[in-house]
Structure 1
Amino acid sequence: MTASLPLSAAQTSIWFGQQLDPDNPVYNTADHVLIDGPVDPVRFEEAVRAAVGEAESLHARFFLDGDVPRQVIAPDEWDFPVLDLRGEDDPEHAALAWMGADVRTPVDLALGPLFGQALLRIGDERWVWHQRVHHIAVDGFAFSLLARRVADLYTDGGGTPFGPFAKVLDVEESYVDSGKSAKDAEFWREYLDGLPEPPGLVDRLAGIGDHTIRSTARIPTEDLRALAKAEGVSWPDLVTAAIAAYLHRATGAEEVVLGLPVMGRLGTPLLRVPGIVMNIVPLRIAVGSGDTLPAVAREVAAQIKRTRPHHRYRHEQIRRDLNLVGGTRKLFGPVVNVMPFDNDLRFAGNPGRMRNIAAGPVEDLAVGVRDFSDGAGLSVELDGNPALYAQDELDRHRDRLLRLLAEGLAAPDRPLGRLPLADTAIRVRPPHPPAPDVVELIRARVAERPDAVALEQGEVRYTYAELAARADRFAEALRARGAGPDVPVGLPLRRDPDTIVAVLGVLFAGAAYLPVDPDAPVERTGPMLANAPITVGPGLVLEGHAAGTGQVLPDHLAYVIHTSGSTGRPNGVLVSRKALASFVAAATERYGVTSDDRVLQFAALHFDASVEEVFVTLCAGATLVLRTAEMTASVDGFLRACDKAHITLLDLPTAFWHEVVHTLAAQGEVPRALRTVVIGGEAALGTRVDQWRSIAQGVRLINTYGPTEATVVATAADLGPTMPKSYAAI
C-alpha cells in the first residue's frame, strides 16, 4: 500500500455525491468491445490484468482523515469471469442483459474494487469484452486508454505503460497555484456576467436516481460533412448548433447555455495516465428564430475558441465563484459531448468495436454523439434522468432533434423559426418566479397578525406590530447615518429581543447586516468591523457614517457573514436579498413552517444557522422563542424548558442533538408540542437515528447540510421510517 494521497477536484465532487447515497450504482461507467474473430481467453485475461495493474486509479481506496477524504492506491485480488453464452436463445441479448445487471452493482469506495472486467463468448468467433469502472477512477478518455492498452498488450505485448496517478494531482496542484488559474478565474467571471437561467426541456428539479435512461439512433454523415466543409465549420459544431437550436425552439430562449465536456489533458503530461481529468465548462450560445443552422454553428465555433484557453478551470470552482453551490440555479443546461474520433480497435488483427453502456449520472439531459469507422454513421445517445423523463418522452425529444438537424442540413439557408418539427407539442419551461423579499413577507405578517407574538424571551414579548415599530425606528436612525443598499452595518449580536430588532432594522433600511461575536477577540472582530462603515455599539448605539442611497433591489446585499476560519483567516460571504428570499421560501416549504409554530432560536447569532431560525420563523408569522443561557445548563433542563415553552420546531447542531437523544433514551420525555427537529453541521450517527426513531415517533427529523456560501442549507433529507439502511455509513 502506498502513502495516502489527497483527492483531485473531480474525485472530491464524485466522492461527496456518492456519500449522499452509498449504495447507488449510478456512478458506474461501462463500455464493451465487440470482437469478431478468434480470441485466446487466457492470453486476453493476461492482457487485461496487465493493463489494469498499470492503471493506479482503478486500485484507489477512499477513507476519511478527520473530516477530509483521502485515498491510497491498494491493489487487491479481483475476478475475471469468462462466460460462454452460446447456448442462450439470443447470446447477444443475454450478454447485454448480463452487462446491464453488472452495471447496477454498488461499489464500496472504501473497500473496492472500483471496477469489474469480464469476457463473454456469444459465437464461435464472436466475443464481448466488458469493463465497468466507477467514475471516481476514470473518465471517457481513460476508458479509451485502457481499451487501447489491452489491445496493444494482447496483440504483441508492446506499447508504453501508463504513468502514475500522482501526476494528476501534481498537474492540478501546479495549475491551482499558478497565475494561469487566477487569469482563468477572471475570464469566467467576465464571460458569465449576466448569465441567464440556463433553459431546459423540463420545468422542475429532481435528485439523481440509481440509473439513467437512454434513447439512441444512427444518422448518416454525408450531408453533415458536406455542409460543414462548405460553411467552414466542423461537423461537431453543426451538431452542437442543432442541439442549441432545438432548445431555442423548445423554450423560446434567445440564449442557451450548454455544458461542454473538455478533455483537460492537452498541454499536460497526462495523455498516458488513466484517471478522471475531464472538465465540463459552460458554453453561452446566442440563437434566434431568424438564424440559420450554419450561423448558429459559427457562433458555437466562436464560443468554443473563446473559452478554449480557459478549459482547465474546474466547473466546481466556477459554481463556487458564482455562489451557485447548493442552490436551485444551474450553471448550464443539457450537456453535449461530441466525440469526433472512433474507438475501433484491433486485437491481433481482429476488429473490436467499442460501445458505451453507461456514462455515469445525469442531472437532467446529456447528448452524446460518437463517430464510428464502420460506415454506419453517427451514434446519437440521449441520456436522461428518469426522475425527469419517461422513456417515450426521451424518444420524442430524440426524434424532434434529429428532424430539426435533417431539415437544417437539407435547407441550410432557411431560418430556424421556419424549420418544421415532427411534433410541435413541446413543453415550454416557465421561469422560476422570484421569491418575495423577507421584509415584504414580514410586513405582510404584521398586517395579517399585528397582535400575534412574534418574539419571546422569558417574560419579554413583542407582538408583530411592536416588533415592526421598533425595527422601523431603528431603520430610520440607520438611514440618518447613511445606511442603504450594499452598506454593511456591523452588529455585535447578543441573544436578546432588541438584537432581533436591530437585524430587522438593518434590512428595513435597505442595508446589510454584518454579525460578529461580541465575545470574540478583537484580533478577529477588528478586521470584520473595519469593512462596516456603520457599527452598532453596546445598547444599540450607532457609530460611524455611510452614504447609502438608492432603490433596494434583489441583488443588493442582505448580510455579510464570515466563515469559521478553521482553514485560515475567516472569509466574508456576501449573501444577496434574492438568495435569502429564495432560501426562506424553500426552507419554509421543506420544513412545513406555519403561523402556528413556536421555533426555538438556538444558534449563535453570528452563525448562519441563525438566519434559518430567525427569518423562516418571522416570514411565516410564527413565534420566535429566544433561548436563555439557563436552558443549556443541562440537556434534561433543556428538554423541560422546551416543553414548558411549547416549542414545536427545534433547529439543533447535530452534536447537541446526539446528547438530546442520549438523554431521552436514558430518562427523558420528548417535549409534548414538538413536531419537527432539524439537525445539521456534521454527520448524524446511525445508532442515534435508530434511537430517535423508536423514542420520538411522530416527530419529523430532517438532516441538513450546507456551506455558508450556499445560503445556510444546500441539502435536506427526512430521516423517517423509510430512511435507507445505508445511512449509518455516511
Structure 2
Amino acid sequence: MTIKKIDKENVEDILSLSPLQEGLLFHYLTEPDSEQYFEQLVLHLEGEWHEATFRNVLQNVVQANEMLRSIFRWEKLEKPIQIILKQVEPTINLVDLSGYSDTMQSMKVEELIASDRAEKIDISVAPWRVHLYRLSGNKSVLVLSNHHLILDGWSTGLLLKELIEGYNSLLSGRSWQASTKPKYKQFIRYIEADDKHKQQQFWSSYLNGFEVKTPLPTDKKVKSEYTKTKHVNVQVPKLLSDRMQLLVAEEGVTVASVFYTAWGILLQKYGNMDDVLFGTTVSGRNPDILGIEQMVGLFINTIPLRFKTNSDETIAQILKRTSRMLRDRGEFDASPLTEIKAHSEFKSKESLFDSIVVIENYPLDQAFKGLDQRLRVTHVSLLESTHYPLALAITMDEPFNLQFQYKAEMFEEATIQRLADHFVRILTSCVKNPHVRTSQIVMLGENEIEQLCKQYNQTETKYPVHLSIHEMFESQAELHPDTVALICNQQKMTYRELNEKANRLAWFLKARGIGEESIVGVMIERSFEMIIGILGILKAGAAYVPIDPDYPSERITYLLNHSRTSVLLVDAVTERNFTDNNQTSVFSVNDIINDHSLPQHNVHGDYHPDRLIYVLYTSGSTGNPKGVMVKMHAFVNLLHWFTREFCIDDQDVMLLIAPSSFDLAQKNMFCTLIQGGKLCLFEPGLYDYNRMSDLIFRENVSLINCAPSAVYPLIDFNEGTDFLRIASLRLVFLGGEPINLNRLMPWMKSARFHAEIANTYGPTECTDIAAFLRLTPEEAVHAQGVPMGKPIDNTKLYVLDREMNVLPEGRIGELYIGGVGLARGYFHAPELTSERFVDNPFDGGQKLYRTGDLVRYLPDGNLDYIGRTDYQVKIRGMRVELAEIEALLLNHSDVQEVVVIDWQGVNGIKYLCAYIVGATEQALASIKAYAVLHLPDYMVPTAFMRMEQLPLTPNSKIDKKALPEPQFSTGGDRDLACNGSETELQVLAIWQKVLGAEEIGLYDQFFDIGGNSILLIQMHSQLEKILPGKITIIELFSSPTIAQIAQFIEKKDSSTSSLQSLEYVTLPAVFFREMLERQGASVHSHHFEGRIPEEIWDICSVEQIEMQDLMLALFIYLLAEFSEQQTIVVQIHTNQVQFIPFVTKMDSFEHFSALFQHVRNHRLGTFNESIELDHLRLLGRDKAPYDVLPLYSKKKDLKEPAPLNVFDLIWEVDIDEIHLNAVYSCTCNANRFNREQMNDLVDGYSELIGLLAHQYEKSGGKS
C-alpha cells in the first residue's frame, strides 16, 4: 500500500492510539481482505432533500468531531499514531436511481450497498465515506461507512442525531451549529494514567487457574483467506422480556448479568466444562472525564468475563455473584486486552476467548426521537462484524433483540440457528425459575431430544433370543452335514465332523461338573482344535475364556486365577509350553476328541438367554486386565444382525486372522458356521501376506475382518499383481482404529475392486459392534472420511455431557451405549461395573455403558469419532484432541500411518510431534503445509518425524513409550551470535528491542515469550526500516519464530530474483463488472459445473493421453479463443502452497491432436520453476483491470479452496478413470466477473467438447 503524504500545515494534532484502537489496527493489517470492523450504517430517508444543505451540515459535523478528521499511520514508526487534520473535505458519492422502476431501485440499492461493503477502507487516507442513492419521489438512501477505529456505537448515535437535527434545523430556517466536543486526547491520557500495578494484581487474580480455552461449536476448522460475517436475528418474546425486568427488580441485579449468565451456561453446556471465559464490551466512558457522554470516538473496550459455577448454586445466586463481579471489575474496565492476556496463563497468539457479548445501550432509532423531522428516517440498519468467530449483540429495546454474528467459514447457519434456540431456552429457564441449578436446565427442545434419543435409536428388531449359538450351528450341521465347515493348513473339516468332535468334548466337560456359569479356558492357536474347544464348551452350557498362548506366563497365570478357571483346554503345542497351575486342570483337546468312547450326539439342556457365553479380558487402567462378561443373547443379537445386514450365506468364506482373545474374532468364528458357510483359519505366527493372499485366492475368501493396520500391508503386497489374488473379497470389515482411505485407494481404484468396506465400532463391553457404516465401492472411492455410522439392531447410542444431558448435533460429548448388547459387567469387579455401567435416564430399569469415547452427531445422523476422553492434551492453554490431528493428517496422500504425541521442551513448553509412516523426508514439508492450512496454529505439530514403521506392543497397539524424542531445539538454542545467519541476527536484534529481552532462542514463539499483537506491529515497523518490503505483517503473523522469519525473507529473496512478473490472460472488458472492485475487497464467487460425455473417453484412447490432458488442452484453447492471445499461461497446482506456470504458444499447433500431445508431453516432462502462493500474491498486486490469472487443478489435489483474490478463474476437474466419469467446474471472482459472460465461457467449453466429438467421429479419429 502506498501511503499518501500529508500536508504538515494541515496537521492539528498527533495522538497515540488507545489499546482497543491498537488491537483493531492489528486486525486491519493482518486480515486486509476481511470485512471485520467495517461498519455500514444504512438510513432510508423520506422528505425534503437538498444536497447543498446536507453538505453544509456534514462539513459542520466533521469540523466539530475531530475523529472524523483522523487518519492513521504506522509504517516505519516506533508505535502507530492517529493524526488529526485541521481540514477535511467530505465527499458525498451521489447516485441517481430515480429513473428506474421501484423494483429495480431496490435491487440497485442492494447491489450498491454490497459493492460499498466489498470496497476496502483505507484508514491512512479516509477511515469513513458517504454514499447517497436518490430514489423516486422524495425517498433516498444514505449510507455511512467507516472503520470501527474511529467510532463506537454510542458515537454513531450521537453523529446521526447531529446530522438529522442540523439538516432539519437549516431546512426550517433556524440557525444551527454542531457542538464542540472535548478532545479525544483527554481519553487517551486518562487510560494511560491508569494504575498498571493494580490492573495486573486484579487480572492475575481474576484469571488464576483458568487454563483451557472455551471451545465453540464450530463446524469447520479450515483456515480461510477471507472471513465473511453472517447473522441470525432473534427477538426475545415480549412476555419473557417483561418477566426479565421483574426478575432484575426482585433480585437486585442488572439486565446485563442475566444475559451474561445465560451465555455462560450455554458455553458451559456446549463445552462440557464448569469454567468458561467470554468477552464483554464496556462503554469506556468514565464519568471522571468531563463531557465524555457527548464525545465522538472509540471508547468501548472488550474485556473477559469469567463464568465459573458450582453444581449446588442456583440461578439466583449466580446472578447476584455475577452482578457483584461486574461491579468489582468496573474499576479495571479500561485495561488493554493484550495486557490482560499477559497476566493470564495463555502465552500463545490465540486469543483469550472466541465469543463476545455486546449489549447496545444506545439503540440507533433513539437518535431521532423528539426531533422536528422535515427529513424523516423511516428505517435504519447497522451492518457490523468483529474478528471474533461468534458474537451476540443485544439491543436493549423492548422487547430485546438478539443478533448472533458468526464467521461463515467456521459455522453452518443451521448450527447458529440451533445455538440461538438453545440460548433463548436457557434464558427462559433462568428467568422463569431462578431457583433451579444449572444442571437442571435443559437447553434442547422436545423435537431435538426426540430426534437424538428416539428417532436415531429406532433399532428394535426381533431376533432369536431363545436360541443359543451352538443350536444355530447344529441346525446347519443337520442341514449340510457333508459341507465343508473349516479350512486350515489346506485341511478341511465338514459340519458333521466338527459337530461330533465338539459333542465329545461337551460330554467330557459335563462329566466333570462343567455347566452353566462355569468358566473354561481355551489356550489354543488358530486351528481345528480351537474351534472344537470353544464349540464344545458352549454345548456343555459353560462360558469360555480365550487366552493367547503368546501371552507372558505371568499374564496367563493372572487370567486363570482371576477368572477362577477350573479347566483349561490346550493342544499339543500349548500343552508343552504351559507351566502347571495348581488351581486349574489342563486337558488336551486332541486327546478328548480322539476318545471314541465319548458320546458324539448333541447335548440337550435348559438354556437361559442371560447365561454367559464368554469372558474376554481387555487392558485395564489399574495395570491388570479386566474380564468382560458377555451374555449369550447379546451375542445372538450381534450375529443375527451381522448375517442379515450383510447377507452372509452358505456361499461365503470368512478368513479368521485375529487371535481368539480379540473381541472381533468371536463373531468371525461363528458368522459363517451358523449360515452353512466356511470358516478359513489363517495359520498361526507372523502374518505372511504372500501366504495370506494365496489362501484368499485358493479358497475364494469373500469376508475378512481385522484392524485397518492389518489390511494395509495386504493391499500393498498385492498392488504389484493388480490385486488378482484378493479379487474374491466382497466384504471387508474394519474396526478398532480410524480407517485411512488413502492406504486402500490403490485397490479401490483398480478394476478388481468389487468389495464393500464396512467400518465397525464397538467396545468389548457392548459385544463387539455397536455402530457401523457401509461404503459401497463407488462411495469408498470418493469418500473424504469414514464416520462411525449408526447403531446396529437393538442398540441405542447417546452423546451426553458430564451430567448425562443430551448434547445437540455437532457437539462433542461422551458416547453412552444401551441395548441388548451390553455385557453383564466386569468379572469379580462390582465397583468398576457400577462405575462404567450406569442407570439409563432415558429408559428406566436399563443400563448404559460409558465408553470414554468422544463423539458427535453429524447432520445425516451418523456418529463421528473424535478421540478418547483420556487422549487429550493441553497445548498453549488449548485443549487438543490428538486423534483429531491424526485423522486430518491421514487425509494426506503421503501419510500411511500416523501417531501424534506431546513432548515437553527444554524450556518447559509442551509441543506436539507427528510420527509419519510412508512419507519421504521431502514430503514432510508438504504434510506440514497441509496441517498449517487445515488446523489452528496450536494444533499444528511442531515436529514431523519420518518412521519406517510404528513400534507396537505385544497386543499390536502402538507403543508410544518407544517413540523417539524429536532431535531439534524448541527454545533451547540460545547461541545465536555464533550460529545465526545475518538475517537471523537482524531479526534477533529487533526482537530484543521490542520484547525488552536478551535471551531469545531461534525457535522461541513470539507470542509465548511476551509478544502480542501490538508488539507485532512494532516489530514489523522495525523490520521495514532495515528490510523494506521483505515480509508483510500477515506473513509475520504466520511465522512466529526468528528462524521462520529469516527463512521466509531469505526464500523470498531467492524466488524474487528468479521471477519478477507474471503472465496473464487478458479477457475482453465485457467479461467484467461495470464497477470493478478494488483488490482489497472481500471475495465472493460464481460457480458453474459440467460433465464430460462418455464418447470423449474414446478420444483419449486414440490419442494415448489421459483425460486430464484433454480437459486442460480444451481449457487452454478456450482461453485463447476468448482472449485472442497466442500465448496462454495457466497455473498448474502441484501442492497446497506451490504452483507451476504452464505455457502454451497456440500458433504452434494446427490440430487438436498436436495440442493434446503438447499438453501431455509438457505435463510428463520438465516443468518450469514452481512459484509459492505468497509470491504469486505479491506479484499479482499490479494486475491490470482485465488481466486474469487462471488456475487448473484436479479436485483431489486441491485440498483447500484456492484463494480467488489470487486466481481469478479456477478450472477444477474431478476424474474417475475406473467408471469413466469426468466432471469440470469453474469458480470465478464474482467481484470482478460478469456472471452472464462467465456462463457463456462455460457453455463454450461444453460446445467445444461436442464439436470435438463430432469431428473425431467424422474424421475417423483425428482432428
The alignment's TM-score, normalised by the length of structure 1, stands at 0.61
Report whether the alignment pairs 1:118 with 2:132. Answer: yes
Tell me, what secondary structure is at the counterpart of 1:108? Answer: coil
Taking a change above 3 Å as real, the CA distance of residues 361 and 60 of structure 1, as seen in their structure-2 partners, is same
Match of 1:271 among 288, 293, 300: 293
Tell me, what secondary structure is at the counterpart of 1:212? Answer: strand
Report whether the alignment pairs 1:139 with 2:152. Answer: yes
CA distance in 1, matches of 2:130, 2:372: 25
Question: Larger radius of gyration, structure 1 or 2?
Answer: 2
CA distance in 2, matches of 1:719, 1:379: 36
CA-to-partner distance for each residue in 1:339-388, whole Å, 9 max, x for gaps? 3444412374347577442123342111111123xxx5111111111111
CA distance in 1, matches of 2:266, 2:916: 48
- Matched ranges for 1:306-345 at <5 A: 306-322=328-344, 324=346, 327=349, 329-343=350-364, 344=366, 345=368
Taking a change above 3 Å as real, the CA distance of residues 413 and 159 of structure 1, as seen in their structure-2 partners, is farther
Taking a change above 3 Å as real, the CA distance of residues 519 and 88 of structure 1, as seen in their structure-2 partners, is closer
Which residue in 1 is equivalent to 2:267? 247
Which residue in 2 is equivalent to 1:186? 201
Could you tell me whether the CA contact under 8 Å between 1:506 and 1:512 is conserved in 2?
A: yes
Match of 1:654 among 1025, 1032, 1049: 1049
- Matched ranges for 1:145-544 at <5 A: 145-153=158-166, 154-155=168-169, 158=176, 161-163=179-181, 167-169=183-185, 171-173=187-189, 175-176=191-192, 178=193, 180-195=195-210, 196-202=212-218, 205=221, 206=223, 209-220=227-238, 221-266=241-286, 267-269=288-290, 270-287=292-309, 291-322=313-344, 324=346, 327=349, 329-343=350-364, 344=366, 345-346=368-369, 348-350=371-373, 355-372=380-397, 377-420=399-442, 421-422=444-445, 423=448, 425-429=808-812, 431-433=879-881, 436-437=902-903, 514-515=974-975, 517-518=977-978
Could you tell me whether the CA contact under 8 Å between 1:31 and 1:356 is conserved in 2?
A: yes
CA-to-partner distance for each residue in 1:287-316, whole Å, 9 max, x for gaps? 356544333322321221121100111113
Tell me, what secondary structure is at the counterpart of 1:47? Answer: helix
Deviates further, 6-15 or 311-320: 6-15
CA distance in 2, matches of 1:361, 1:90: 32
CA distance in 2, matches of 1:383, 1:664: 42
CA distance in 2, matches of 1:102, 1:49: 22
Which residue in 2 is equivalent to 1:50? 60
CA distance in 2, matches of 1:413, 1:306: 24
Taking a change above 3 Å as real, the CA distance of residues 321 and 227 of structure 1, as seen in their structure-2 partners, is closer
Taking a change above 3 Å as real, the CA distance of residues 240 and 721 of structure 1, as seen in their structure-2 partners, is same
CA distance in 1, matches of 2:143, 2:1042: 52
1:216 CA displacement:
3.4
CA distance in 2, matches of 1:300, 1:611: 45
Work out the percentage of aligned pairs sharing the same amino acid: 13
1:246 CA displacement:
1.8
Tell me, what secondary structure is at the counterpart of 2:266? Answer: helix
1:181 CA displacement:
2.7
Could you tell me whether the CA contact under 8 Å between 2:129 and 2:145 is conserved in 1?
A: yes
Could you tell me whether the CA contact under 8 Å between 1:334 and 1:366 is conserved in 2?
A: yes
Taking a change above 3 Å as real, the CA distance of residues 443 and 239 of structure 1, as seen in their structure-2 partners, is closer
Tell me, what secondary structure is at the counterpart of 2:881? Answer: coil
One-letter code of the match for 2:160? A
1:29 CA displacement:
0.7
CA distance in 2, matches of 1:21, 1:441: 27
Could you tell me whether the CA contact under 8 Å between 1:95 and 1:120 is conserved in 2?
A: no
CA distance in 2, matches of 1:97, 1:141: 28
Could you tell me whether the CA contact under 8 Å between 2:262 and 2:427 is conserved in 1?
A: yes
- Matched ranges for 1:92-107 at <5 A: 98-107=112-121
CA distance in 1, matches of 2:911, 2:246: 59
Aligned pairs, number: 540
Which residue in 1 is equivalent to 2:1022? none
Taking a change above 3 Å as real, the CA distance of residues 190 and 418 of structure 1, as seen in their structure-2 partners, is closer
1:319 CA displacement:
3.3
1:180 CA displacement:
1.2
Could you tell me whether the CA contact under 8 Å between 2:219 and 2:411 is conserved in 1?
A: no
Taking a change above 3 Å as real, the CA distance of residues 308 and 679 of structure 1, as seen in their structure-2 partners, is same
Tell me, what secondary structure is at the counterpart of 1:387? Answer: coil
CA-to-partner distance for each residue in 1:34-88, whole Å, 9 max, x for gaps? 6677776664554344223433323333344425544433613401537677951
CA distance in 1, matches of 2:314, 2:136: 47
Taking a change above 3 Å as real, the CA distance of residues 409 and 7 of structure 1, as seen in their structure-2 partners, is closer
One-letter code of the match for 2:200? A
Taking a change above 3 Å as real, the CA distance of residues 60 and 659 of structure 1, as seen in their structure-2 partners, is farther
One-letter code of the match for 1:428? R
CA distance in 2, matches of 1:656, 1:447: 28
1:133 CA displacement:
1.4
One-letter code of the match for 1:235? V
CA-to-partner distance for each residue in 1:516-542, whole Å, 9 max, x for gaps? 52599xxxx9xxxxxxxxxxxxxxxxx
Tell me, what secondary structure is at the counterpart of 2:902? Answer: coil
Could you tell me whether the CA contact under 8 Å between 1:215 and 1:381 is conserved in 2?
A: yes
Taking a change above 3 Å as real, the CA distance of residues 181 and 652 of structure 1, as seen in their structure-2 partners, is same
CA distance in 1, matches of 2:404, 2:284: 23
Taking a change above 3 Å as real, the CA distance of residues 163 and 290 of structure 1, as seen in their structure-2 partners, is same
Could you tell me whether the CA contact under 8 Å between 1:162 and 1:272 is conserved in 2?
A: no
One-letter code of the match for 1:277? F
1:170 CA displacement:
5.0
1:122 CA displacement:
8.2
Deviates further, 234-243 or 425-434: 425-434
Tell me, what secondary structure is at the counterpart of 1:436? Answer: strand
CA distance in 2, matches of 1:15, 1:392: 32
1:110 CA displacement:
3.2
CA distance in 1, matches of 2:1007, 2:60: 52
CA distance in 2, matches of 1:66, 1:576: 25
Taking a change above 3 Å as real, the CA distance of residues 89 and 610 of structure 1, as seen in their structure-2 partners, is closer
Structure 2 residue runs of 5 or longer lacking an equivalent are 1-9, 450-807, 814-878, 883-900, 925-944, 946-965, 1010-1038, 1062-1165, 1194-1202, 1210-1227, 1230-1263
1:131 CA displacement:
2.2
CA distance in 2, matches of 1:201, 1:218: 22
Could you tell me whether the CA contact under 8 Å between 2:230 and 2:406 is conserved in 1?
A: yes
Tell me, what secondary structure is at the counterpart of 1:194? Answer: coil
CA-to-partner distance for each residue in 1:202-261, whole Å, 9 max, x for gaps? 276555614433433343221110111111112222122112122222222212212011
Taking a change above 3 Å as real, the CA distance of residues 301 and 580 of structure 1, as seen in their structure-2 partners, is closer
1:18 CA displacement:
2.3
CA distance in 2, matches of 1:129, 1:718: 31
